[in-house]
């Protein structure tokens, strides 16, 4: 098996920590947990779970497009939220990107916290390219 290619595609923030936004192994993309950062690294919507989720989905779109894919290539997503009350807000943001079935398989996890207290939503994903 070939070694995976680890990258930080243009159009999404470059992590300050020691990780890459995506690993490509063959036609499979493994996206790290994406947050509500814009391209310059500014958090979109401090205190607003819907805005952070929307930006995370935009970041997922950007990463997939860089590799020639789209949201239709997703095979699994996991969304982490820091309070159960954010569930409907995160769902509203997701509906903007998936307005009708079919939907990709997804797991929602309520966690005690993410890497920083201002992070309310994080989404990781797996996609298979054509």
Residue 1: per-residue pLDDT: 60
Which CATH architecture describes the domain 7-128?
Answer: 2-Layer Sandwich (3.30)
Higher pLDDT: 1 or 2? It is 2
Rounded CA gap, 128 and 19, in Å?
A: 21
Average pLDDT in the chain: 95
Rounded CA gap, 43 and 39, in Å?
A: 10
- Contact 93/57 with Cβ under 8 angstroms? yes
Residue 14: per-residue pLDDT: 84
Rounded CA gap, 90 and 15, in Å?
A: 23
Q: pTM for this structure?
A: 0.95
Residue 99 pLDDT > 80: yes
* 33-74 pLDDT tens trace: 999 999 999 999 999 999 999 999 999 999 999 999 999 999
């Amino acid at each position: 098996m070939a070694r995976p290619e680890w990258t930080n595609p243009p159009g999404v923030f470059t992590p300050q920590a020691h990780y890459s936004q995506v690993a490509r192994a063959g036609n499979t993309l493994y996206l790290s947990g994406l947050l509500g950062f814009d391209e310059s690294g500014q958090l979109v919507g401090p205190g607003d779970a819907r805005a952070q989720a929307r930006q995370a989905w935009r970041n997922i779109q950007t990463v997939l497009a860089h590799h020639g894919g789209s949201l239709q290539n997703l095979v699994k997503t996991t969304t982490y939220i820091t309070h159960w009350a954010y569930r409907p807000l995160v769902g509203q943001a997701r509906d903007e990107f998936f307005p009708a079935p079919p939907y990709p398989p997804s797991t929602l996890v309520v966690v005690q916290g993410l890497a920083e207290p201002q992070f309310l939503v994080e989404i990781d994903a797996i996609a298979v390219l054509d």
